[in-house]
Amino acid sequence: MKIGLAQLNYMIGDFNGNFSKMKAAIELAISNHADLLLFSELSVCGYPPRDFLEFHHFINECERYIQQLAEIAGDKLAIVVGAPSKNPTKDGKDLYNSAYFIEQGKIKYIAHKALLPTYDVFDEYRYFEPNKEFNGVTFKDKKIAITICEDIWDTGEENPLYRINPVEELAKHKPDILLNLSASPFHAHQAKKRIEVIRKNATQFSLPVFYCNCVGAQTELIFDGGSVVMNAQGNVVDELPYFEEAVRFYEILSIADSPQSIVISSDSIDHRLSNIDRQQDKNPTKLIHDALVCGIRNYFQKLGFQKAILGLSGGVDSALVLALAVRALGQENVLSILMPSKFSTAHSVDDSLKLLENLGSPHKIIPIKEVFDVYEKILQPHFENKPFDVTEENLQARIRGNYLMAMSNKFGYILLNTTNKSEAAVGYGTLYGDMCGGLAVLADVYKTQVYELCRYINSEREIIPEHILTKAPSAELREGQKDSDSLPDYDVLDKVLYQYIEQHQGPDEIEQLGFDEQLVTRILRMVNRNEFKRHQTPPILRVSTKAFGSGRRMPIVGKYLES
């Protein structure tokens, strides 16, 4: 039997566009004499459709396009596609998250997802009824078990999330092959974890696993692909590329003759790889870099925009965003605005111009001093002679925000926000100023990671000038200002933030790691007090296990750790 994996980049609700991609994959599979082609979770409509699922028209469109896919496959190819299906009973939710097994142009079997994640960015139990019946389907004398994403992830750890193990239930029917349709969002360590989970299932149940993940970004969620074929011994037969669409085909030898072996057959290659554990580069910094480039590119493509704009300050954050945006959109499609003030140092402009020269990207210089002076003159009588403080600092940030939004409106550019996760966490940013924008590129990337990403970008040649990476970080909103005037050292700050945000550790646990009690209290209070700011930020590209946004739901009004 020859099985294909179609790792594709879908768009939520773009039924015709998704259908066109799936149609092309089906035609390729037929020309390669494949027997079965596997797509990813909710491939027909895109993942996650969220409240689109509450529209009857949306569900009817899913059904209509499933029938069209069945007609194209006809009697030449069996396909497994992901889509919502209606619950025929009156018990529970109206829908299932399902996998349609289509053979001879007809729906032969529908498998439903059993484990519905309701944590972090997931909210599937809001829409779907969990499966309670576990059966397989027979195809070409092979018994096939079909699972959907989370169904294979609860692998019997010390604290399982669910009361049932779907693969364990399916294993009672003695399947020959395990299929998994997945839409598993990226984070920096997901690729490594994915292999571990698939291996656990393959070896525990002595089954070859065909795991098909989707690829591409859906607003803040990024999917890395990395679909996997693994034999029953837990060896990786093949791992599809990250952040790229791919369709590949694999031939299973006679299970009776060789129960653990799979032969890969793709692009005229026919190599026995059953004992080779092929691993791609899983360097977290590289993966985060590729994910951010993918996130920017897909956000623009899927919204129908081509050009980006950003404020280039001479600092490391805006330098990194510019470099990523150029890689995602092309150097000619990213406009940088330099907006020096009377507090800006000469090297900030010089560093920015050097960076722009290295990237070959266009720019404009629009100073803010004149406008800021007018603001000060008009407001001074109303400020009651109060001294210069954060008010005047924020005024500068908001003037810059107005400049950027004016250029964005006039020319139809999307403004890229350059705030990093460390700043977003502690509120080190100005609402309606440097926090404005259409997409927050770095708001799930800590400051220390920003430097790692810059070093990665510079690994082959210097793109981001070295002086940007070595000078002390500063917002340059008053004379001689440095970030360290307001914040702890980033090496310490980021470690505390990571424990609080990603690891869910409270003050006592963090202090036990050796951090100063007063410092921990100060940092955690800053995080909590600035929740109102984060509720007003642009969508944040998610690259960690716990990003700000839909995956971290905190009350704006609260007094936790305030006393």
> Which residues are part of the catalytic machinery?
41, 113, 149
Q: How far apart are CA 219 and CA 273, in angstroms?
A: 37
Helix (H) or strand (E) holding 211, with range, is: strand 209-213
C-alpha 25/C-alpha 40 separation (Å) is 12
Cα separations in angstroms, 8 against 11, 17, 44, 225: 10, 11, 11, 8
Cα–Cα distance between 548 and 558 in angstroms, integer? Answer: 17
Interatomic CA distance for residues 419 and 443, integer angstroms = 6
Residue whose token pair is 């040649």: 461
In the chain, % helix, strand, coil (3-state, to 5) comes to 40, 20, 40
Token pair of 69, please?
């896919």
DSSP string covering 229-256: EE-TTS-EEEEPPBTS-EEEEEEEPPTT
Closest CA to 441 of 546, 329, 338, 296: 296
DSSP letters for 86-142: E-SSSSS-SEEEEEEEEETTEEEEEEE------STT--GGGTBPPP-----EEETTE
Residues 76, 192: Cα–Cα separation, whole Å: 36
Q: Which SS3 state, helix, strand or coil, does residue 259 take?
A: coil
In angstroms, rounded to a whole number, what is the distance separating the alpha carbons of residues 418 and 194?
30
End-to-end CA distance of the chain: 65
Rg of the chain's alpha carbons, rounded to an integer?
Answer: 26
Lay out the sheet containing 177-182: strands in order across: 137-139, 142-148, 177-182, 209-213, 228-230, 236-239
Find out whether 148 and 184 touch, Cβ atoms under 8 Å: no
Q: How far apart are CA 296 and CA 426, in angstroms?
A: 25
CA separation for the pair 128, 184 (Å, rounded): 17
3-state DSSP call for residue 66? Answer: helix
What is the Cα–Cα distance from 49 to 12, expressed in whole angstroms? 6
Burial 523-554 (b: 16+ CB within 10 A, else e): bbebbbebbebbeebbbbbbbbbbbbbbbeee
Query: How far is it, in rounded angstroms, from Cα 213 to Cα 412?
Result: 34
Residue spans of alpha helices (H) in 412-506: 421-426, 447-457, 466-470, 490-501
